[in-house]
């Protein structure tokens, strides 16, 4: 059963289903919304979400890194941030993630209090750093906010929230100007103005870029500013384990996060007045992804365990053009940890796709040819590969002037050249790879979630901007806009909150096994790596670019069985409920995100945007509704679903 509820100016609907996600916490789906005995007929993405969640009190409103970079984990901060227990740290703001969203937010809130930036690896290791193409924004007189909005809505298969789209497209240009003022250096044309590129799905040239290393340049500028801010401390190699939560009447409240220092194997507890989750995506639920190794869905899984609402997880964007190593003249010696991205801008600059018989195929699938949105191009390539039993297609830009190619795509040219491929003379072998999660933790117009004190920004969030498919170069833009929009409500929440110095004792402490070099840990690590590969294989085989109900149900069953076997193995080896380790914690997060994707995909009985199923091959207007996974009230005590909730203290 599905109930349609009209949604705001964009006529957005909420897609509600009886289906339960067989996920981390037996998530609840709902089939109708009843308030005071009657069905609400009007509810929008932002201002009605609190009613949707039935929370009464909390209302929604609508790289090349500098050589001078030093880790900041040991920086001296104010006495309020460092108390006697060195494993417990107190901050006004805790920021989980060091990509563009986390850093931009940290720089703003640092004007009002102490900030901990918690990052899983080095500070620059984020999806931002790997973003090649650029940031989309209306910066040309011939362009308009309305045009950018329309392109976004079309690419998102009209599942986008119109109010969110308008906010992002309107505020985007100012966010770009702020970056420039901070020292970000973007490419300029001969006339001295910003060089604006065009990418698939865009009707105008509006992509601000720094050659093919835009994310790296933005990250560089933001990190340099963070280094010079005395109110910000960066804790690198700190893996976020779980959010610390408690119940306050009808509301769930976030008080910070537990982390594992992966270098010292110590657990550190961060108690904070406000927490921003900016931890990125979950590309590594698939065997081939453009995401760096840190993208294991940690934020989405943590938020899900902490009772946050999750939305639109079925919409996984596969970038149509990742470098196909099998097609290189010289094969890489070892497999990459993440696929090398061939930016959308190559097709935007005139790159043409061919099969191995040098037949141009995109005009057969879409009148926009190579400039069609990513979901169309990815499905077209997938169809070619399956029909022809081939492993990659060719992307050719060699017909363009050599100087132009090398100036626009120096990073891609250098990467290919080390494997014997000159892109100014030869085509690039490419294949689709998992790239971007359009779904995530449900957010309002100020990055707020249904959990008090918890805000989200960047890829971990589902703001309503992307709908069923992200328009190229809208991701960095969204991260910048929502990082800024989350600032004021965060400050307000911080000022109205206080740090309870006894709070560190409210939750059971995670522990690291005493003997990391023992056979037990070796066996756990070996088994976990095997299981991780199996999970990725299941996801690619059954939950890839083209889906079916049978395949999704097969995936659901196999994932559930695989997780049960893995967890049984852990406990047979002596693992305990309170134990934590990097590989094991990443694995439970990958399982959680994979199940959320599968459950959401099974609930959508149509093909829209990135979700294409052969059983429901058409777009159904009556099903133009976001998929919503509500928090579960069922207490699930398995290790994979364990939530760090406040203990009852007598």
The catalytic site residues sit at 374
Give Cβ neighbours of residue 67 (< 8 Å, ≥ 6 apart): none
Written as six digits, the tokens of 423 are: 């892109």
Give Cβ neighbours of residue 225 (< 8 Å, ≥ 6 apart): 103, 107, 182, 183
Tell how far CA 508 is from the center of its chain: 29
Question: Backbone dihedral region of 507: left (phi > 0), alpha (psi from -120 to 50 degrees) or beta?
Answer: beta
Q: Taking a C-beta distance cutoff of 8 angstroms, is the pair 434, 291 a contact? A: yes
Residue 269 phi, psi dihedral angles, 5° rounding: -105, 125
C-beta neighbour count of 357 within 10 angstroms = 9
Closest CA to 55 of 189, 250, 206, 246: 250
What distance in Å separates the CA atoms of residue 11 and residue 26, rounded to the nearest whole number? 30
Give Cβ neighbours of residue 82 (< 8 Å, ≥ 6 apart): 89, 90
Written as six digits, the tokens of 48 are: 């009605």
Closest CA to 608 of 373, 349, 319, 357: 373
Written as six digits, the tokens of 118 are: 């918690």
Closest CA to 409 of 359, 370, 351, 366: 351
Per-residue three-class SS string for 428-448: EEEEEEEEEECCEEECCCCCE
Closest CA to 423 of 436, 439, 441, 404: 404
Burial class, 167, CB count within 10 angstroms (exposed 0-12 / middle 13-18 / buried 19+): buried
269 beta partners: 88, 258
Helices 582-603, 549-572: axis angle to 10 degrees equals 160
Give Cβ neighbours of residue 303 (< 8 Å, ≥ 6 apart): 243, 277, 310, 441, 449, 451, 454, 456, 460
- Please, what's the b/e burial string for 25-63 (b: 16 or more CB within 10 A of its CB; e: otherwise)? bebbbbeebeeeeeebeebbbbbbbbebbebeebebebb
Distance in Å from the first CA to the final CA of the chain: 45
């Amino acid at each position: 059963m599905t109930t349609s509820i009209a949604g705001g100016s964009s006529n957005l609907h909420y897609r509600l289903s009886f289906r339960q996600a067989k996920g981390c916490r037996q998530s609840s789906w709902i089939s109708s919304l009843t308030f005071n005995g009657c069905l609400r007929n009007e509810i929008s993405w932002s201002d009605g979400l609190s009613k949707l969640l039935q929370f009464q009190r909390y209302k929604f409103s609508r790289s090349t890194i500098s050589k001078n970079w030093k880790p900041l984990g040991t920086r001296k901060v104010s006495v309020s941030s460092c108390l006697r227990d060195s494993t417990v740290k107190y901050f006004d703001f805790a920021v989980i993630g060091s990509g563009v969203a986390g850093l931009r937010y940290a720089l703003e809130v640092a004007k009002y209090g102490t900030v901990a930036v918690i990052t899983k690896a080095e500070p620059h290791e984020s999806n931002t750093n790997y973003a090649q193409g650029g940031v989309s924004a209306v910066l040309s007189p011939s362009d308009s906010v309305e045009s950018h909005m329309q392109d976004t809505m079309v690419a998102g298969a009209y599942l986008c929230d119109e109010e969110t789209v308008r906010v992002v497209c309107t505020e985007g240009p100012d966010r770009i100007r702020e970056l420039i003022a901070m020292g970000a250096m973007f490419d300029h044309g001969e006339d001295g103005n910003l060089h604006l590129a065009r990418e698939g799905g865009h009707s105008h040239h509006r992509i601000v870029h720094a050659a093919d290393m835009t994310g790296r340049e933005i990250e560089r500028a933001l990190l340099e500013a963070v280094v010079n801010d005395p109110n910000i401390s960066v804790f690198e190699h700190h893996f976020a384990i779980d959010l610390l939560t408690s119940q306050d009447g009808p509301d769930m409240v976030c008080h910070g996060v537990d982390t594992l220092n992966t270098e010292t194997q110590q657990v550190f507890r961060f108690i904070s007045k406000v927490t921003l989750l900016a931890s990125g995506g979950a590309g590594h639920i698939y065997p081939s992804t453009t995401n760096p190794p840190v993208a294991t869905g940690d934020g989405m899984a943590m938020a899900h365990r902490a009772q946050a609402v999750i939305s639109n997880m079925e919409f996984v964007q596969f970038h149509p053009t990742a470098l196909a190593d099998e097609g290189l003249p010289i094969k890489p010696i070892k497999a990459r940890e993440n696929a090398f991205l061939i930016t959308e801008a190559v097709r935007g600059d005139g790159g043409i796709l061919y099969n191995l018989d040098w037949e141009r195929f995109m005009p057969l699938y879409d009148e926009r040819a190579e400039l069609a949105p990513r979901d169309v191009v990815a499905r077209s390539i997938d169809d070619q590969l399956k029909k022809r039993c081939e492993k990659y297609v060719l992307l050719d830009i060699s017909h363009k002037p050599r100087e132009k190619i090398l100036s626009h795509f120096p990073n891609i040219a250098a990467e290919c050249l080390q494997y014997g491929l000159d892109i100014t003379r030869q085509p690039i072998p490419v294949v689709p790879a998992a790239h971007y999660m359009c779904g995530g933790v449900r957010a309002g117009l100020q990055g707020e979630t249904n959990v008090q004190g918890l805000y989200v920004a960047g890829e971990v969030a589902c703001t309503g901007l992307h709908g069923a498919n992200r328009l190229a170069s809208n991701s960095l833009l969204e991260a910048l806009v929502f990082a800024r929009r989350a600032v004021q409500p965060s400050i307000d929440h911080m000022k109205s909150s206080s740090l309870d110095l006894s709070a560190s004792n409210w939750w059971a402490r995670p522990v690291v096994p005493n003997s990391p070099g023992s056979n037990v840990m070796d066996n756990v690590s070996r088994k976990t790596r095997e299981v991780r590969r199996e999970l990725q294989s299941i996801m690619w085989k059954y939950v890839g670019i083209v889906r079916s109900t049978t395949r999704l149900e097969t995936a659901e069953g196999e994932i559930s069985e695989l997780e049960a076997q893995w967890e049984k193995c852990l406990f047979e080896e002596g693992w305990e409920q309170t134990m934590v380790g990097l590989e094991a914690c990443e694995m439970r997060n990958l399982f959680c995100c994979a199940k959320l994707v599968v459950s959401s995909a099974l609930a959508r009985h149509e093909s829209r945007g990135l979700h294409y199923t052969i059983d429901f091959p058409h777009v159904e207007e009556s099903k133009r509704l976001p998929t919503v996974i509500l928090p579960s009230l069922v207490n699930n005590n398995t290790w994979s679903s364990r939530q760090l909730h406040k203990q009852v203290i007598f």
